[in-house]
Amino acid sequence: MAATVEELYRNYGILADEKEDLSKHKDAYQVILDGVKGGPKEKRLAAQFIPKFFSSFPELADAAINAQLDLCEDEDVSIRRQAIKELPRFASGENLPRVADILTQLLQTGCLFASLKANTAEFHSFNESAFLKESSESVIHNYPFIKTVTFFIPE
């Protein structure tokens, strides 16, 4: 069953307020994961909330990554953009190769740039080189073992 905006905020509050052991609120995180089955508002919130608490629920890692991936493929460009923007937060430990594969697939299929360029007004203000520079700097900053990032953009 899809979660409502109110349920998402309530469960976000439960997790955000917990100071000691987030893992005892697995049900609250599951409600946030169920947000991907809702409408556009619920999906946007889920795209932000899922990665925020991802590391506290390793037993739900596959479900969380799958939920975020569903949002990366959403028909709404703003939901896709938010979900794709948050993907690097899942890239740690044993999840790193899977997230790298997902990002590679998105780049190969053009979904990454298509999601950023789908809105005509945004297209005119979109600076592809600035995006690439910011993305590569972010990857290098967040993952110090990566020294160089190269983007190949199909024409």
Check residue 147 and give its pLDDT: 56
Burial class (CB in 10 A: 0-12, 13-18, 19+), 49: buried
Check residue 154 and give its pLDDT: 45
As a whole number of angstroms, the distance between CA 101 and CA 104 comes to 5
Q: What is the pLDDT along the chain (155 residues), one digit of tens a residue?
A: 788 999 999 999 999 999 888 989 999 999 999 999 999 999 999 999 999 999 999 999 999 999 999 998 888 888 988 888 888 888 777 887 787 777 777 766 665 554 444 444 444 444 555 555 555 566 556 655 555 555 544 44
Outline where the chain has alpha helix (H).
5-17, 26-34, 40-53, 61-72, 77-86, 96-109, 111-117, 120-125, 128-142
What predicted TM-score, i.e. pTM, was given to this entire model? 0.70
Burial class (CB in 10 A: 0-12, 13-18, 19+), 62: exposed
As a whole number of angstroms, the distance between CA 22 and CA 13 comes to 12
Check residue 28 and give its pLDDT: 96
Check residue 52 and give its pLDDT: 95
Residue pair 36/43 in contact (Cβ under 8 Å)? The answer is yes
How distant is the alpha carbon of residue 79 from its chain centre?
Answer: 9
Residue pair 44/33 in contact (Cβ under 8 Å)? The answer is no
Check residue 130 and give its pLDDT: 54
Check residue 125 and give its pLDDT: 46
Check residue 107 and give its pLDDT: 66
